[in-house]
C-alpha cells in the first residue's frame, strides 16, 4: 500500500484487557500515525451495507451525543463538512471526523490512524467492507492474565469461568478474522512479545504498515488518554515492564487456573502458552459451575452499576466545566 495515497485506518482488535491500548499508544508515538481514544461509536453506528446513503450532519450529531465521544476532551464546536466536501457515506464521515481530531492534536500530517477499541472485533468483517484500505492487528494475551485483569475492573467478568468463556470466544473470533481477511490485512500480535521484545515487534509491525521504524515507539506515549479511562490504563506513558506478563501466576488461585484451562482446552498451548495444570485438569462439578455462574451475574451487576455511576459523574463534571468555559467566554 502506498502510505501517501490515503489516510488509512488500522483497527486493533481482540479480547478486552489484552493490551490494545498499550499497543495503540506505542504505534501512536510514530510521527506518521495518529492513535484515537476509544471510538466505540464507530461500531455502534456502523451501517450493515457500505452502499447505504448517510447524511454526514446527522451522523456527526449522533456521534457528538455518544458518551464515548463526549469524554474525548475534544469538540467539533458545531463544525460540519461543507456541501460536496465528502461523500455521503459512513466511512467518509468518520474519516472527516478523524482528520479534525488529527489537527486538534497536532498530527494532521499522519498517514495512518489507529482505532484501539478491542470490541470492534465483533464488527470487524463489516468494518473491512466499509474501509477497504483498513488493516487489522489482532492482539492476543495469555487468557489467565486477561481473566485476572477483567475481574479487577468494575465492568468486567467477575469469576474465572465467565472470564474464560469470554476470552475463548473473542480469541476464536479473532482467529476467524485472520483466516477470512488473510495476512495482507490482518497481523497477529502477541502481548507478551511486545512487552519483552518491543523493538523487534514494532519493526515487524512497521513493515506490515509500510512505515519505517521510529525509536519513539518503544514507549506507549502516543495516545492522548481521556481522564475517564486513565484508571483502566494507568501504565500508559510509562516504561514497559516485562514481568507484568506473569503477574497472574501470583494472583490467580490454583483452582481458578485449573478451571480456566479446563474450559479453554487446547487454545492456550495452540497460541504458545504453557499449561500449569496439565492436559487433564480436574473437572468442574455441576454445583461449582452453578455457584460460579450465579456469583458472576450478581457481582457483574454490581460492577455495572458502579461503572454507570462513575460515567454519570464524569459526564456531569464535563457539563459543569463546559458551562463554566462558556460563561468565561461570554462578554462582560
Q: Is residue 17 part of a domain?
A: yes
List, in order, residues 6 or more apart from 87 with CB less than 8 Å away. Answer: none
Query: 115-145 burial by CB neighbour count: b if 16+ within 10 A, else e?
Result: bbbbbbbebbebbbebbeebbbbbbbbbbbb
CA Rg value for the chain? 21
Domain-located, residue 326: no
Judge whether residue 324 has pLDDT over 80: no
CATH code, 25: 3.40.50.300
Range of the domain at 298: 8-318
One DSSP character per residue, 197-209 reads SHHHHHHHHHHHT
For residues 200-207, give the mean pLDDT. 97
How many structural domains are present in the chain? 1
Which pLDDT score is estimated for 67? Answer: 93
The rounded distance, in Å, linking the Cα atoms of 232 and 227 is: 10
The pLDDT tens digits for 12-56 are 999 999 999 999 999 999 999 999 999 999 999 999 999 999 999
Q: How much is the pTM?
A: 0.92
Q: 22 is written with which cell numbers? A: 498499550
Arithmetic mean of pLDDT, 289-314: 93
Report yes or no on 330 lying in a domain.
Answer: no
Does the residue 332 lie in any domain?
no
Look at residue 279 in the predicted model and tell me its pLDDT.
84
Task: Output 49 or 318, whichever has higher pLDDT.
Answer: 49
- Nearest 10 degrees: Cα torsion 323, 326, 330, 332: 50
Range in 118-122, 233-237, 253-257 with the lowest mean pLDDT: 233-237
Residue 325 lies in a domain: no
pLDDT for position 69: 95
- Tens-digit pLDDT profile for residues 176-199: 999 999 999 999 999 999 999 999
Q: What is the rounded distance in angstroms from the CA atom of residue 228 to the CA atom of residue 306?
A: 14
* pLDDT at position 1 over 70: no
Grid cell in block for residue 148: 485476572
Residue 101 resides in a domain: yes
What pLDDT is stored for residue 323 in this prediction? 63
Backbone torsions φ then ψ of 210, nearest 5 degrees: 60, 40
Give a yes or no: residue 1 inside a domain.
Answer: no
CA distance between the termini of the chain: 54
Structural domain contains residue 2: no
Amino acid at each position: 500500500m502506498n502510505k501517501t495515497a490515503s489516510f488509512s485506518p488500522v483497527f486493533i482488535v481482540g479480547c478486552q484487557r489484552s493490551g490494545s491500548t498499550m499497543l495503540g499508544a506505542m504505534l501512536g508515538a510514530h510521527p506518521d500515525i495518529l492513535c484515537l481514544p476509544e471510538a466505540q461509536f464507530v461500531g455502534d453506528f456502523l451501517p450493515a451495507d457500505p452502499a447505504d446513503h448517510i447524511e454526514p450532519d446527522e451522523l456527526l450529531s449522533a456521534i457528538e451525543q455518544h458518551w464515548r465521544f463526549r469524554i474525548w476532551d475534544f469538540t467539533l464546536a458545531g463544525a460540519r463538512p461543507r456541501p460536496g466536501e465528502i461523500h455521503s457515506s459512513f466511512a467518509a464521515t468518520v474519516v472527516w471526523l478523524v482528520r479534525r481530531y488529527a489537527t486538534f492534536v497536532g498530527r494532521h500530517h499522519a498517514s495512518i490512524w489507529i482505532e484501539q477499541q478491542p470490541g470492534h472485533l465483533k464488527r470487524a468483517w463489516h468494518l473491512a467492507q466499509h474501509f477497504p484500505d483498513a488493516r487489522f492487528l489482532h492482539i492476543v494475551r495469555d487468557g489467565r492474565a486477561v481473566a485476572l485483569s477483567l475481574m479487577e475492573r468494575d465492568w468486567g467478568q467477575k469469576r474465572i469461568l465467565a472470564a474464560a468463556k469470554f476470552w475463548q470466544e473473542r480469541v476464536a473470533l479473532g482467529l476467524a478474522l485472520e483466516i477470512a481477511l488473510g495476512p495482507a490485512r490482518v497481523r497477529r500480535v502477541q502481548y507478551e512479545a511486545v512487552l519483552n521484545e518491543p523493538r523487534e515487534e514494532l519493526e515487524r509491525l512497521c513493515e506490515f504498515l509500510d512505515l519505517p521504524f521510529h525509536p519513539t515507539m518503544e514507549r506507549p506515549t502516543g495516545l492522548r488518554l481521556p481522564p475517564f479511562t486513565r484508571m483502566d490504563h494507568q501504565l500508559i506513558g510509562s516504561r514497559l515492564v516485562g514481568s507484568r506478563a506473569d503477574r497472574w501466576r501470583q494472583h490467580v488461585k490454583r483452582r481458578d487456573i485449573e478451571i480456566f484451562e479446563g474450559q479453554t482446552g487446547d487454545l492456550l498451548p495452540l497460541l504458545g502458552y504453557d499449561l500449569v495444570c496439565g492436559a487433564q485438569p480436574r473437572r468442574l462439578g455441576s454445583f461449582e459451575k452453578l455457584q460460579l455462574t450465579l456469583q458472576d451475574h450478581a457481582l457483574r451487576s454490581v460492577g455495572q452499576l458502579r461503572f454507570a455511576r462513575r460515567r454519570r459523574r464524569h459526564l456531569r463534571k464535563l457539563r459543569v466545566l463546559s458551562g463554566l468555559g462558556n460563561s468565561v467566554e461570554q462578554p462582560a
